[in-house]
Structure 1
Amino acid sequence: MAESTLWWLLGGALVVLELFTGSFYLLMLALGAAAGALAAHLGWSPTGQLVAAALIGSAAVVGLHLNKRRHPGDPSVRSLRSVNLDVGETIQVDAWQSDGTASVKYRGAQWTVIRAPGTPPEPGLYKVSELIGNRLMVAKA
């Protein structure tokens, strides 16, 4: 069996594995395998093929990682007002407990409130920014 065929089979296996796992990084590694196959078609040595596959695959993985870090994903569905009508509502927090939570009466029931990252634990008015399970995440109003 030709070396290029092995590279193409490896690339195909990586694509199939990506379809099962949903990890886009496996597609980047499949690009590396395709580069190895093309290097084999060009008559490169096995070492050259491996280096080509490693360089292209690694560069694609690093590029994808940097792109994902630069462009954050969509906001959580739990923080969309169109999904949860509590988002954007104002509540009064009288005191915070030592564990970083508070208990407030909201819509006729007792709710546990947690602070959004960077929100100081001070009494006052807060806006609901997200609903996490049965807890309200709030930020300073």
Structure 2
Amino acid sequence: MADSTLWWLLAGALVALELLTGTFYLLMLALGAAAGALVAHAGAAHTAQIVVAALVGLGAVLGWTWLKRRRPGDPSVRAQRSVNLDVGELVQVDAWQTDGTAQVKYRGAVWTAVLPAGATPEPGTHRVTELVGSRLLVEKV
């Protein structure tokens, strides 16, 4: 069996394994295996095939990791209205305490409201943006 055939089989196996596991990094390694196959088609030695496959696979994995870290993270699941029906509701804050919390009446009970980091505490109407444990994360309307 030709070297290139082995590289193509490895690339196909990595793609199939990626479909079973759902990790995107196996696709990057499959790119490395495909690069090894192309080098094998060109008639390069075994060492050159392995080096090219390793460099392309590693480069693809590092590139994908770098791109992923530059992207802003997905919003918290706790901040999605489809998961938590409290998100988007309005509450009235009469006064903020010195620790940055406020007691608000919401849904017939007293809740603790908190502000996001850096926000200035002001009394008035606030919108619930997220439920963090038993606390309402709110923002001024």
Give me the whole-angstrom Cα distance separating, in 1, the residues matched to 2:140 and 2:70.
Answer: 27
SS of the equivalent of 1:129 reads strand
Percent identity between the two aligned chains: 61
Q: What's the CA shift string for 1:10-65, capped at 9, x where partnerless?
A: 21221122112211111011100110111111111111111111221122222222
Deviates more, 1:74-83 or 1:18-27: 74-83
Equivalent residue number for residue 18 of structure 2? 18
Q: Establish whether residue 45 from structure 1 lines up as the match of residue 40 from structure 2.
A: no
SS of the equivalent of 2:14 reads helix
Q: Establish whether residue 105 from structure 1 lines up as the match of residue 105 from structure 2.
A: yes
1:72 Cα deviation from its structure 2 partner: 2.9
- Relative to 1, partners in 2 of residues 1:50 and 1:107: Cα closer, same or farther, differing over 3 Å? same
Gapped regions of structure 1 (runs ≥ 5): none
Q: What's the CA shift string for 1:51-105, capped at 9, x where partnerless?
A: 111221122222222322333354345324466443234442756697x876643
SS of the equivalent of 1:34 reads helix
Asked if structure 2 preserves the Cα contact closer than 8 Å seen for 1:4 and 1:41, the reply is: yes
Deviates more, 1:41-50 or 1:122-131: 122-131
Equivalent residue number for residue 35 of structure 1? 35
Gapped regions of structure 2 (runs ≥ 5): none
Equivalent residue number for residue 87 of structure 1? 87
Give me the whole-angstrom Cα distance separating, in 2, the residues matched to 1:19 and 1:117.
Answer: 40
- Which TM-score applies when normalising by structure 1? 0.71
- Which TM-score applies when normalising by structure 2? 0.71
Give me the whole-angstrom Cα distance separating, in 2, the residues matched to 1:112 and 1:124.
Answer: 14
Give me the whole-angstrom Cα distance separating, in 2, the residues matched to 1:81 and 1:114.
Answer: 18
Q: Number of aligned residue pairs: give it.
A: 139
Say what the alpha-carbon RMSD is for the aligned residues: 3.1
